[in-house]
Amino acid sequence: VSHQRTDWISIHSHICHRLIPVFRPQPCFRSEKDRKHGKEQLLRRQESLIAVALSTAQGFVWAGKPLEAIPAALQALRFSSRVFGSSSVQLVPIYLLLAEASTGTGHLRQAAKYLSQAQWIVLQTPDCSAALQSKLHRGLGLFSIAEGNLDQALYHLANDVYLATAEFGLDSVELSGGYFHMANTFFHQNKMDAANSLYTEV
């Protein structure tokens, strides 16, 4: 019952009315044009569901409610796999969000599985953008912090900053997250000069 309640609060109260047109049987179309239009309409509805589920999950993570984020992120993953395929780069941000939420609930083993899945997809995608690779390294860095492996965290966060620089430029706000987490890590290592320098950069 508690899982059903969490699931309802997390996502189903937001998407129930959107599910009916997606799951009901598709009508028999009289022409190729009608069939194509029907497929496009179904795709738009599925993409709308993905967007709502993903933004809802992200909102819960930002609000410090990782447990509530997981059902919404799983819905986004389910529909994204159906629309884009199970090896698509569109799934990587969802896996990273699931990893962050799982880490927040203390389920590090599950978080590691999600991160491995995201990493595998990125490795299988030769033209994967530097921006997405940057997000992956940030996720790996945050996971390493949760494990207490601060040197490994700094390695991933440095890669995050490097890739974000390559994608967005030296003075871009997209770099601030990587710098901030690196500064926190140096702070926990009691390396105050490095920490303060990076806080200033942020």
Contact 42, 19 (CB under 8 A): no
- Report the helix count and the strand count for the chain, using DSSP H and E: 10, 0
pTM attached to this predicted model: 0.81
Q: Give CA–CA dist 176/171, Å, rounded.
A: 9
Tens-digit pLDDT profile for residues 6-45? 454 555 555 555 555 555 555 565 777 766 755 676 678 7
Is residue 77 predicted with pLDDT exceeding 60? yes
Q: For the chain, which domains are there?
A: 1-126 (1.25.40), 129-201 (1.25.40)
Phi, psi for residue 18 in degrees, rounded to 5: -90, -15
In the three-class reduction of DSSP (H, G, I as helix; E, B as strand; rest coil), residue 106 is classed as coil
**Interatomic CA distance for residues 43 and 98, integer angstroms:** 24
Whether residue 182 is predicted with pLDDT greater than 60 in this model: the reply is yes
